[in-house]
Amino acid sequence: MGGFEKNPRITLFLWFDTNAEEAVNFYLSVFKNARRLDAEPNMNKAMAPHKILTITFELDGQTFIALNGGPQFKFNESISFMVRCDSQQEVDEYWEKLKMKKIDLAELERAAEA
């Protein structure tokens, strides 16, 4: 099992062609409670020069693994993050960093009351 033994039983994998480290650094810059946990080296010579195969990271307590998996599958919008926000200011901060479809918190609250 190697380095994966210390991960939760179920972990979300994000597949990237070659830019997993760049993606992880981006996510770590967006979320305040975020940290890089571990990296597994790439032992497959055919995948060179990508020295890292996987990077384990945490966003607000949720563990993810970014995989430099190659070009077989493309990263796309079918993966999404639901981030619970406490204010419109917080929504706006994430909107600015992530450029998600912007959510209007007041409109959602009005709809929930109706």
- pLDDT, tens digit, 9 for 90 and up, residues 47-66: 555 688 899 999 999 999 99
Higher pLDDT, residue 69 or 27: 27
Q: What pLDDT digit, counting tens, does each position of 61-103 carry?
A: 999 999 888 878 776 667 777 788 889 999 899 888 887 766 7
The CATH number linked to 26 is 3.10.180.10
Is the pTM higher than 0.75? no
For residue 23, the enclosing domain spans 10-72
Q: What confidence category does residue 1 fall into, taking pLDDT thresholds of 50, 70 and 90?
A: very low
Report how far residue 66's alpha carbon sits from residue 54's, in angstroms, rounded to the nearest whole number.
Answer: 5
Report how far residue 87's alpha carbon sits from residue 36's, in angstroms, rounded to the nearest whole number.
Answer: 27
Q: How many domains does the chain have?
A: 2
Q: Which helix (H) or strand (E) holds 16?
A: strand 12-16
DSSP letters for 23-71: HHHHHHHH-SSEEEEEEEE---GGGTT--EEEEEEEETTEEEEEEE--T
